[in-house]
Structure 1
Amino acid sequence: MNAASVGAALREVGDLPSPRGLPLLGNLHQLPPATHHLTLERWAAELGTPYVFRFATTPVTVWSDVELSHAVMRERPYRYRRYAPIENILKEFGCNGLFSIEGAAWEPQRRLVMQALSIPHIKAFYPTLAAITERLRMRWERAARNGRVVDMTDDLKRFTVDVTSALAFGEDPNTLENERVLIQEQLAMLLPMLMTRVNAPFAYWHYVKFPRDRKFDEAMNDVHRHIRELMSRARARMREEAAIEACETPPRNLLEAMLALRDAPGSGITDDEVAANVLTMLVAGEETTATSIAWALLFLGTDDALQTRVAADARRVLGASAVCPNYAAMRELDLCEAVCTEASRLHPVAPYLSFEPLEEVRLQNVRLPAGTKMFMLNRPAMMDPDNYADPQRYDPDRWLHEHRQAQAAPPEGTAQRGAHEPRAYLQFGAGPRVCPGRHLAAVEMRLVVSMLTANFTAQLATNPADIHEICTFTAVPSEMPMRLALR
């Protein structure tokens, strides 16, 4: 791909505008880990894009053109790869699964994961999803009756860990009913440590380990021991069922499918690779969906009219049920998904995507040698009035089908209602490596938001201005305490 304009002067990375830095440190001192994404966005507003900053002596180019983002993602994994330090560090964690693995190795793994997360599989899994949602409802009912403020982010992570484990591995850890579940606490350490090490100027942990590093290593040892036990139990079940049926039985979940492929003659897949994908699924399934729902609660918990409207729509679909009763009814809960999508437009869970070319490319008249670091900012395009009308306003309706139809063909004599460009929303990525869990995420959003609003009134238990974005690889709310009352 050569995105350089004909006749335009070719620029080098060093020619791009750059924030003022320091010798040797570059711009590291200006990028506090928890809020560095906000600094990158501020520099984009001040300098325009592309610009370049420096991790110590390493230049990193920053872009915000959504069409360029799509073009780069279309050419993964053969012309571009994810930012290499991510794969290197996740490999050290034993977590180099589908999210980070590069080259031809990702294709067979993706086929397995896509099968596990396919619509027919999730549809068949729906009764379990509904049962776990009912478990969350009961937890929230106890909190409401006791007048206890709920840490919504923590509860939502418990929910998504239970869902992901039951769907992908056939075992439900039931973190919602067990107050202290070690696996959830240990998983919560992984992404913050990934962010710390990706942003470190050198691999200090190879030479000296601080208490935090040692605690993390112990946690990962426990997590991998848990995963190996999962694998061992799954293999035992598969052998028992094959003996009873006197033939091979089809895999019932992702773990069984991966083990069947691993154990096939000449597979070339190792137990370590299976374990890495188990861990990848646990972390990805926990963090991103829980955070998207949590950001939606910021708006629902501060807008009584919106909450009442969502509650009425949810109750219309749920009828007398406390939880959406079946998959077909769940598909009617568009508004419940829209409140989450719109929240993550304003507070993107993935504030930027990071890549590097595998060969020299020329983009927007800039020559990028192979290996040049590229950060593609997501929020600027989602806050551009050319992409979304009145972009500063929280408006879930912009994602509803009937609203989009009205935009495309407004009643005669009325003005066009404004821009709506879904391609500018890149929270699930794009191209061949688009997130395979996006449908499961949508189902979880619909189930949780409908259950919450149909059964409870929810009020934010802190000043909304005190809730900030914290980047721990994903951009999570600093807190999301809520008071619930039974409807």
Structure 2
Amino acid sequence: MAYVRTATSETPRTVADLPCPPALPLCGNLLRLQPASLHLTLEAWARRFGSPYRVQLGPIPITVWTQADLMQTVMRERPHAYRRIAPMEAVLKELGGNGVFSAEGAAWEPQRRLVMHALSSSNIRSFFPTLAAITERFLVRLSEAAKRHKTLEMTDELKRYTVDVTSTLAFGEDPHTLDRERGIIQEQLALIPPALMRRVSALIPYWRYVSLPRDRRLMRAMKEVHRYIDSMIERARNRMSECPDSAPGNLLEAMLFARNAPDSKITDEQVAANVLTLLVAGEDTTANAIAWALMYIAADAGLQSRLFEESLKTLGDRSVCPDFDALKKLELCEAVCSEALRLRPVAAIQTFEPLTEVSVGGVVLPPGTRMFYLTRPGMLDPNNFVRPEAFIPDRWLHARQADNGPHEQKAYLSFGAGPRVCPGRYLAAVEMRLVISMMTRRFKLRLAVDSESIKEVSAFTMVPSRMPITLEARA
């Protein structure tokens, strides 16, 4: 079903003028906005009411938008005209994770510079040999499962891989979660995204007054996570004190170096918060993006054959891609991931609020008005992509000609846009090409369940409910 595009009227509208689903007194639409299915509910209402429309979270109005061009405009005007919704920063601050993702104002810029440098393409290039070695370890784990004909919950396996990659690159420490079955930091990190989803969408911060069992589990996990982070920071400080004249070797050391500089704007709390931010973001988003791509690969024998041929040509007899420059040859591997993210965007909802009164799409928004932008509708708009409902990875491989139909790159917002575009997009692209090429070169993939039984779940990011895959080693 197509999404409705609402024409901008000549007379400015207010938030109260926007169409709204039937609401109950006092609680509004709250009872129908379940966190785990939030993006699906909002997308369904967008098809019914057009864009923008309004929902009521109790007395709080939330405007919901689908136009990619308006989302681009808002993102380009951050952080000076817009910010993330205030509950995001408040909840992350409580958890000790108010880092570069959620920080606002003057606190954001010095953190951003450090993170962007650490995750730049040049740094990832120099990190490639270590990244390839971690991918080799991942292959060993997958090969053992294939020998035992063991079905793997692939999202969990990919999170092990991405935690090892992120920790080694950003913090100079490899936790070796790929080599262990129990007692890994991933077990605690997994509780954070769904907790964020619940708390950011809550009408009142109930956990400050009543601690439910899930809140107590979260707090126990956070204690473990912060103990892990504190010990990592302490070891980094010790390394730096032993070699005081050495340049910082990773993001953590760079942040500690900036923290110690005269007139520093980096605090101890921000250092710890960014460690947590990168652990969660590096683990969750890339792992889920690759998992969605594997679902499409496992269901399409012809696509697997094409991926095998491309990977065989690039890798030869090697286990993983041999060098950074050879990654460029793995175009189909990344195209598959790009197309999977178009249909299954990990960041299905982007949230903002204006800092001053603004007019967006003919609607006057007072400061603090909550804005939810749905990223998928613009990517399913036939005005932006030809045959938008179909999985066509080749649309990303060839320059689009006018007679082939539209291919609007600006509508593809999986990594955001503007000054606060996702800093980890280069690393994610490299991980995607490495993992997909390694897996399709070495294994035949089979989905152990009907793909229709795999549901989309809002857990801060949009994740698959399950992704059981069986691997068969190629000769």
Q: TM-score interval w.r.t. the shorter chain?
A: over 0.9
Q: Give the gaps of 5 or more residues in structure 2.
A: 1-6
Does 2:469 correspond to 1:467?
no
Q: Hey, what does 2:472 align to over in structure 1?
A: 485
**Counterpart residue identity of residue 201, structure 2:** N
Mapping of residues 410-449 of structure 1, within 5 Å: 416-449=403-436
The superposition leaves residues 111-158 of structure 1 with CA deviations (integer Å, 9 ceiling, x where unpaired) of: 100111011110110011001101111100000000100110000000
Deviation at residue 265 of structure 1 after TM alignment: 2.1
Does 2:270 correspond to 1:273?
yes
Instruction: Please point out which of 249, 253, 262 is paired with 1:252.
Output: 249
Does 2:185 correspond to 1:183?
yes
The superposition leaves residues 56-92 of structure 1 with CA deviations (integer Å, 9 ceiling, x where unpaired) of: 1100001111111011011100100011111110000
Structure 1 stretches of 4+ moved >6 Å: none
Task: Name the count of aligned residue pairs.
Answer: 469
Deviation at residue 10 of structure 1 after TM alignment: 1.6
Instruction: Please point out which of 376, 395, 407 is paired with 1:379.
Output: 376
Q: For residues 99 and 257 of structure 2, what CA distance do their matches in structure 1 show?
A: 17
Instruction: Please point out which of 87, 90, 98 is paired with 1:88.
Output: 90
**Counterpart residue identity of residue 211, structure 2:** K
Deviation at residue 268 of structure 1 after TM alignment: 3.2
The superposition leaves residues 16-46 of structure 1 with CA deviations (integer Å, 9 ceiling, x where unpaired) of: 0000010111101111211111110010000
Q: For residues 284 and 247 of structure 2, what CA distance do their matches in structure 1 show?
A: 30
Q: For residues 323 and 182 of structure 1, what CA distance do their matches in structure 2 show?
A: 25
Q: Give the gaps of 5 or more residues in structure 1.
A: 243-247, 410-415
Mapping of residues 48-63 of structure 1, within 5 Å: 48-63=50-65
**Counterpart residue identity of residue 235, structure 2:** R
Q: For residues 401 and 156 of structure 2, what CA distance do their matches in structure 1 show?
A: 40
**Counterpart residue identity of residue 465, structure 1:** E
SS in 1 for 2:185: helix
Q: For residues 120 and 88 of structure 2, what CA distance do their matches in structure 1 show?
A: 27
Q: Hey, what does 1:325 align to over in structure 2?
A: 322
Q: For residues 362 and 448 of structure 1, what CA distance do their matches in structure 2 show?
A: 44
Deviation at residue 327 of structure 1 after TM alignment: 0.4
What percent identity do the matched residue pairs reach?
57
Q: For residues 466 and 9 of structure 2, what CA distance do their matches in structure 1 show?
A: 51
Q: Hey, what does 1:309 align to over in structure 2?
A: 306
Q: For residues 268 and 344 of structure 1, what CA distance do their matches in structure 2 show?
A: 36
Normalised by the size of structure 2, how large is the TM-score?
A: 0.97
Q: Hey, what does 1:358 align to over in structure 2?
A: 355
Q: Hey, what does 2:441 align to over in structure 1?
A: 454
Instruction: Please point out which of 133, 136, 143 is paired with 2:138.
Output: 136
Q: For residues 17 and 319 of structure 2, what CA distance do their matches in structure 1 show?
A: 60
**Counterpart residue identity of residue 456, structure 1:** F
* Matched-pair contact (CA < 8 Å) for 2:348–2:462: yes
Q: Hey, what does 1:391 align to over in structure 2?
A: 388
Does 2:174 correspond to 1:172?
yes
Mapping of residues 190-201 of structure 1, within 5 Å: 190-201=192-203
Q: For residues 30 and 278 of structure 2, what CA distance do their matches in structure 1 show?
A: 31
Instruction: Please point out which of 18, 24, 27 is paired with 2:26.
Output: 24
Instruction: Please point out which of 238, 241, 244 is paired with 1:239.
Output: 241
The superposition leaves residues 350-390 of structure 1 with CA deviations (integer Å, 9 ceiling, x where unpaired) of: 11110000000011221100000001111111001111100
**Counterpart residue identity of residue 199, structure 1:** S
Change (3 A) 1:22 1:131: same
The superposition leaves residues 383-413 of structure 1 with CA deviations (integer Å, 9 ceiling, x where unpaired) of: 011111001110100111xx22xx327xxxx
Q: For residues 7 and 419 of structure 1, what CA distance do their matches in structure 2 show?
A: 26
SS in 2 for 1:186: helix
Q: Hey, what does 2:157 align to over in structure 1?
A: 155
Q: For residues 264 and 445 of structure 1, what CA distance do their matches in structure 2 show?
A: 37
Q: For residues 181 and 169 of structure 1, what CA distance do their matches in structure 2 show?
A: 20
The superposition leaves residues 241-294 of structure 1 with CA deviations (integer Å, 9 ceiling, x where unpaired) of: 22xxxxx21100000000000011221322111000000010010011001100
Normalised by the size of structure 1, how large is the TM-score?
A: 0.95
Change (3 A) 1:257 1:300: same
SS in 2 for 1:134: helix
**Counterpart residue identity of residue 133, structure 2:** A
Mapping of residues 115-126 of structure 1, within 5 Å: 115-126=117-128
SS in 2 for 1:259: helix
Q: Hey, what does 2:3 align to over in structure 1?
A: none
* Matched-pair contact (CA < 8 Å) for 2:177–2:184: no
**Counterpart residue identity of residue 384, structure 1:** D
* Matched-pair contact (CA < 8 Å) for 2:110–2:265: no
Q: Hey, what does 1:295 align to over in structure 2?
A: 292
Q: For residues 461 and 404 of structure 2, what CA distance do their matches in structure 1 show?
A: 32
Change (3 A) 1:366 1:221: same
Q: For residues 231 and 132 of structure 2, what CA distance do their matches in structure 1 show?
A: 27
**Counterpart residue identity of residue 380, structure 1:** P
Q: For residues 9 and 378 of structure 2, what CA distance do their matches in structure 1 show?
A: 27
Q: For residues 130 and 441 of structure 1, what CA distance do their matches in structure 2 show?
A: 14
**Counterpart residue identity of residue 300, structure 1:** I
Q: For residues 437 and 184 of structure 1, what CA distance do their matches in structure 2 show?
A: 19
Q: Hey, what does 1:412 align to over in structure 2?
A: none
Instruction: Please point out which of 391, 396, 401 is paired with 1:408.
Output: 401
Q: Hey, what does 1:245 align to over in structure 2?
A: none
Q: Hey, what does 2:129 align to over in structure 1?
A: 127
Deviation at residue 182 of structure 1 after TM alignment: 3.2
Deviation at residue 346 of structure 1 after TM alignment: 0.6
